Amino acid sequence: MKIGILTLPIAENYGGILQAIALYRLLDKEGHDVTLIYKAYNASSNTKWWKEIIKNILLSIPFQDFKNLKANKKANKERDERAVLHRAFIEKEIFKISKNLYTKQDLEIFAQDERFDAIVVGSDQVWRKSYMGGIFYQNYFLDFIKNSDTKKIAFSASFGKDIWEGETDHKAIAKLLQEFSAVSTRELSGVSVCKESFGFESAKHTLDPTLLIGKEFYLDMISKYDTSTISKRGLLTYVLDEAEEKKEIIEYVQKELNIDKTSHLKGFNETHTTYTVPQWIASFANADTVVTDSFHGMAFSIIFEKNFVVIGNHGRGLDRFVSLLGLLGLEERLVFDVKDLEGKELGSIDYGRVNVVLEDKKKKSLEFLMGALANE
């Protein structure tokens, strides 16, 4: 089959990049002709010309940072630099990528020209409205597909939270969902959101694609790249949002497990090193214990069977953690402050038990995806 994959722009987010690669390679391995449909953000298209002039004037004034314009510009520059760093890796691991497509019209023309048999939207937070790229967010419900012969499939799509963030668009989304051949969500709560917010009752729960492909795939991947600078053993921290209570959790784990070697992959890292994707993966593969507030940090801790603690991240969507940990019986690994660790057993996880559950869910998730493509 000729299949298109639509996900959030994969530029500099490690988890976003790896879930796209995992889904792509799963379908490619089955012999399908797969293309990543690159829906790109274009912030300038929604900005009036006169606002751009005012912004540039404000940026030129010294000793002030009105509405964090200068800080945001610096952050965007650093993000763009990371995107350039990762692009060569992405193009090596994903064999066919479309040109940048910005609007519904761009997507519609591309889909018509390619004549896809199916388009799969997923995974990651593709259905979290605040992440979906402004006025074109309904593209992620495949509103641009006009060919009735093209199957619409959602695989492990995530709302990020246990609610739909929209307010007045429930009917429009409900209508679009009815055109899907099959729908699955990454969190159990996503199944409920589909039913309660949009009246769509046939959604299923499936795993994030990164969990479906096996650690051997990742070990083989990183063996092709230079990861010699990555520390071996000890504690690895990967913290997206620095906070004092998170630092206290890290220090508690260090002391409780008597760990004398710690690597900060992100957060509390004075060097602010940017790692390649293979180096990022190798960091999890090499660690003994992980502390993270990232969903994919948690996922790769599980993939590599590491002892870990995950810090609840309300702002980025708590249900993403609760759903996977609950499925695997690892709820005790979720904490919010250092008090939650007191009295807890932080020793090694019984991955023999965990993997039995995980393998069963992997099988069902893959059966859903392949069955959706085969009209089963």
- Per-residue H/E/C for 19-54: HHHHHHHHHHHCCCEEEEECECCCHHHHCCHHHHHH
Segment 17-28 mean pLDDT: 98
Which amino acid is it at 332? E
Residue 16 and residue 148 in one domain: yes
Domain count, the chain: 2
CB of 120 within 8 A of CB of 155? yes
Residue 22 and residue 167 in one domain: yes
Q: Are strands 289-292 and 151-157 parallel, antiparallel or unpaired?
A: unpaired
Residue 276 and residue 130 in one domain: no
What are the distances in angstroms from CA 2 to CA 34, 35, 97, 114, 295?
6, 8, 13, 8, 30
Residue 100 and residue 177 in one domain: yes
CB of 276 within 8 A of CB of 229? no
Residue 268 and residue 248 in one domain: yes
Q: Is the residue at 291 inside a domain?
A: yes
Residue 123 and residue 237 in one domain: no
Read off φ and ψ for residue 198, nearest 5 degrees. -125, 0
Instruction: Give the model's pLDDT for residue 59.
Output: 54
Give the pLDDT band (50/70/90) at residue 376.
confident
Report the alpha-carbon distance of residue 59 to residue 269 in Å, rounded.
28
Report the alpha-carbon distance of residue 195 to residue 219 in Å, rounded.
39
Residue 163 and residue 258 in one domain: no
Selected residue with higher pLDDT from 96 and 148: 96
Report the phi/psi class of residue 34: left, alpha or beta, with left for phi > 0 and alpha for psi in -120 to 50: beta
List pLDDT tens digits, range 319-373. Answer: 999 999 999 999 999 999 999 999 888 888 999 999 999 999 999 999 999 999 9
Segment 115-132 mean pLDDT: 94
State the CB neighbour count (10 A cutoff) for residue 45: 11
Instruction: Give the model's pLDDT for residue 233.
Output: 92
List pLDDT tens digits, range 283-300. Answer: 999 999 999 999 999 999
Q: Is the residue at 68 inside a domain?
A: no
Domain hosting 310: range is 215-345
Report the alpha-carbon distance of residue 47 to residue 49 in Å, rounded.
6
Report the alpha-carbon distance of residue 188 to residue 190 in Å, rounded.
5
DSSP 100: P
Residue 13 and residue 150 in one domain: yes
Read off φ and ψ for residue 128, nearest 5 degrees. -95, 110
Name every residue whose Cβ is closer than 8 Å to that of residue 123 and which is 6 or more positions away in sequence: 7, 19, 23, 155, 156, 157, 158, 186, 208, 209
Q: Is the residue at 56 inside a domain?
A: no
Q: Is the residue at 310 inside a domain?
A: yes
Give the pLDDT band (50/70/90) at residue 45.
very low
Q: Is the residue at 58 inside a domain?
A: no
Instruction: Give the model's pLDDT for residue 72.
Output: 55
Instruction: Give the model's pLDDT for residue 77.
Output: 53
List pLDDT tens digits, range 240-268. Answer: 999 999 999 999 999 999 999 999 999 88
Q: Is the residue at 53 inside a domain?
A: no
* Residue 69 scores a pLDDT above 60: no
Residue whose structure tokens are 């499936």: 206
Residue 157 and residue 248 in one domain: no
Report the phi/psi class of residue 249: left, alpha or beta, with left for phi > 0 and alpha for psi in -120 to 50: alpha
Report the alpha-carbon distance of residue 253 to residue 57 in Å, rounded.
48
State the CB neighbour count (10 A cutoff) for residue 71: 10
CATH of the domain at 290: 3.40.50
Residue 202 and residue 316 in one domain: no
Q: CA-based diameter of the chain, in Å? A: 63
Residue 196 and residue 278 in one domain: no
Q: Is the residue at 142 inside a domain?
A: yes
Task: Output the pTM of the full model.
Answer: 0.90
Residue 180 and residue 37 in one domain: yes
Nearest to 108 by CA among 29, 228, 6, 229: 6
Q: Is the residue at 192 inside a domain?
A: yes
Bond before 123 cis per omega within 30 degrees: yes
* Residue 81 scores a pLDDT above 60: no
Give the pLDDT band (50/70/90) at residue 269.
confident
Q: Which two tokens stand for residue 209?
A: 């694609």
DSSP 289: E
